[in-house]
Structure 1
Amino acid sequence: MEQKVFDPDGVGVDNGTYFGLPFEPETAELVLVSAPWDVTVSYGAGAAYAPDAIIEASTQLDFHDPLAPGRWRRGIATADVDYSLQEESQRLRTDAARVIEHLEGGGCPEDDYVVRKIRRVNEGCAAMNAKVRAQAARWLDLGKIVGLVGGDHSTPYGLIRALGERHERFGILHLDAHCDLREGYEGFEFSHASIMFNVLRDVEQVEKIVQVAVRDFSEREALTAAQSPRVETFDDLTLAAGRFRGETWDEQCRRIVGALPQEVYVSFDVDALTFENCPHTGTPVSGGLSFNEAVWLLDTLARSGRRIIGFDLVEVCPSAQERLDAITGARLLWKLCGLTLKSNDKPNL
């Protein structure tokens, strides 16, 4: 579909792209890549189906955004979805589920049966990372901003690696119920619970990870966060305590953003939000941010003068019974796109 016949005030167009937008990746400013993958999820699966569900839900969205009016006109394009990832995810998920069942039943992680399956999963996850990294690199080298739609929270690793190869230093604004600082969780090196551990280990260009709304983590993760000068935590309970004592959310957002460097990558796990926004997400946790609190934080980041160099949206788990998760995902993705483009506004000459 050519852009000249696209009517933003008309009926949503079901053309297989996010938001039904008509842009081609080669001419758009922002390119969305998809990673339909959820091999290592340790509780509820389904995030591998999020890209298609979000695409479907996104056609019901209206385009005017008061926080970033008209930014979408600079181009938000959908890269071709690599469905071989989804097929491989389904195959390897069976192996991963058997490993998890074995360990949860008290089985030994050194059993040959488990070791072989863990090796297959780790090899498959490494291949997925390489594919995402190569796809991201293609668009980054063409001067595009890249956003990733997962999939589980292991999927952005390749994009973050690609950004690390092209930026001297940047920070990560990490919204999540979990710290994701576990080393090789359940034997899986590239677990959804290990993404930030792996980034600290492998991407030295990430000088700061600012974690927001985390509220479910192990003692070792808490120690890792406390001991690393590259991690700053604004946990959910501490944020709530500040508000109970009279600190406004706006003040807290400015404090959070103040901990970040000039260039920022946003990693948004939907379970950072409260239950009613994402009832089927893989590992839900009581507490969290409201939708508007999360959006206000993102807008505070965009208004701060910092530049968003990329982002991901992960752990959206669509349900056949209700569409709320996909609807939330579509609207979060729209805000992330618009505010990312806003943060990349060119100064008036």
Structure 2
Amino acid sequence: MKLLHALPPFNFCGIESMDFGQCKAVVLPVPYDSTTSYNPGTRNGPHAIIQASRNMELYDEELGFTPAEMGIFTLEELEPSMKSPEDTIARVEEAVAEILESGKFPVVFGGEHSISLGAVRAVNEHFEDVSVLHLDAHADCRDEYEGTKYSHACVARRFSEICPVVQLGIRSLSAGEADFLKKSGAVKTFFMHELRKEGFEQTIDNAISSLSDRVYISFDIDAMDPSAVPATGTPEPGGFLWNEALQVLRKVCEQKEVIGFDLVELSPIPGMSASDFLAAKLAYKFIGYKFKQSE
């Protein structure tokens, strides 16, 4: 009797043999959505991204090589704390710090956006001269939301208390956030309407030139247009299209030293895997851009 081939292992890209010592990138899944305020389900995001990635072709036709061969190791899911967002953020910080201390590149899958604060704290402690590139539909600059300063709606405000922040693609914010952004010297925001009005490439170049030499990228999947990714907690029309998002990631990797990356806020829709696959492919393309520069 001839048996069917078993499915590839359950890790990012379905890599048959992972060697932590030889890998360059380490994937940290964080299934957490405690402060989600509209459509819940981002806790299922990491699993959906990994599941979709097992069905990707791993050769990158644009780059002409197979990024998975650079070495990608997937850790077990980080167990969130049930006590408070602060506790989960602290756990993420500790886990990312361990990845950095091992000389590896952290790739964090959420989960809601609040988890990114832990990663930013870790890279800022590990490196000097760090800035954050925050791609998002929402400004996430509230000082407090629904009784906590550690909501997903406050994460960029918390970033700005650590290091400079450049926001790209923003198209939704409160009046209070708009006032904060006008007064803040730590957050520079490039709104999506500016990208459309003033020219995409020029605005992207201006945003990247505003960053320091070392950059952490925090990518909320709702930065994408809902026509490309409907599976997110609070979808906003008018977002990035696929090739536009790739252009941003490619240019940042070419011009800056990227020191960490997260992809958050995927909220999978049962029976609709296109968003999951796009998220997986986006993360994989980013890894390719990052390590193409170091070949």
Aligned to 1:312, the other structure's residue is in SS state: strand
Contact kept? 1:12, 1:20, Cα under 8 Å = no
Mapping 1:98-247, distance limit 5 Å = 123-201=83-161, 203=162, 206=163, 208-242=164-198, 247=199
Q: Distance in 2 between matches of 1:124 and 1:309?
A: 27
* Aligned residues of 1:12 and 1:61 also touching (Cα < 8 A): no
How far the C-alpha of 1:253 sits from its partner, in A, is 2.2
Q: CA deviation at 1:68?
A: 6.8
- Contact 2:29/2:110 (8 A) holds in 1: yes
Matched letter for residue 184 of structure 1: E
Q: Which runs of 5+ in 1 are unaligned?
A: 1-10, 93-122
Q: Structure 2: which 5+ residue stretches go unaligned?
A: none
Cross-structure match for 2:277: 327
1:321–1:270 Cα change, 3 Å: same
Query: Which of 240, 264, 270 is equivalent to 1:289?
Result: 240
Matched residue type, 2:144: G
CA distance in 2, matches of 1:143, 1:313: 21
CA-based RMSD of the aligned residues comes to 1.7
Q: 1:88-116 CA deviation, whole Å, 9 max, x = no partner? A: 5xxx6xxxxxxxxxxxxxxxxxxxxxxxx
Q: Establish whether residue 253 from structure 1 lines up as the match of residue 204 from structure 2.
A: yes
Q: Distance in 1 between matches of 2:58 and 2:190?
A: 32
Q: 1:231 to 1:25 in 2, by over 3 A?
A: same
Which structure would you say has the larger Rg? 1
Distance 1:132 1:125 in 2: 11
TM-score w.r.t. structure 1 length?
0.79
Name the aligned partner's letter for residue 19 of structure 1. Answer: C
- Partner Cα separation in structure 2 for residue 71 and residue 61 of structure 1: 12
SS of the residue corresponding to residue 216 of structure 1 reads coil
CA contact (8 A) 1:180 1:194 kept: yes
Q: Separation in 1 of the partners of 2:160 and 2:132?
A: 11
Number of residue pairs aligned between Structure 1 and Structure 2 = 289
Task: Detail structure 1 runs of 4+ shifted over 6 Å in the superposition.
Answer: none
Q: Contact between 2:97 and 2:126, CA under 8 Å: does it hold in 1?
A: no
Percent identical pairs in the alignment equals 31
Q: Please state whether the residue corresponding to 1:239 is helix, strand or coil.
A: helix
Residue of structure 1 in register with 2:55 after alignment: 60
CA distance in 2, matches of 1:224, 1:128: 27
2:226 to 265, 268, 275: 275
Higher share of residues assigned helix: 1
Counterpart contact for 1:176–1:271, Cα < 8 Å: yes
Shift of 1:341: 2.1
CA shift for structure 1 position 27: 2.5
Deviation at 1:149? 0.3
Quick one: distance in 2 between partners of 1:325 and 1:277?
7
Distance 1:50 1:322 in 2: 13
Q: Provide Cα deviations, 1:293-326, integer angstroms capped at 9, x if missing partner.
A: 010111111222x111001000011111211221
The structural deviation recorded for 1:230 is: 1.8
> Which residue in the other structure is 1:18 paired with?
12
1:267 match: secondary structure: strand
Whichever residue aligns with residue 333 of structure 1, its letter is A
| Equivalent residues of 2:232, 2:267 under 8 A apart | yes
Aligned to 2:75: 79
What secondary structure is seen at the aligned counterpart in 2 of 1:172?
strand
From 23, 27, 30, give the equivalent of 2:22: 27
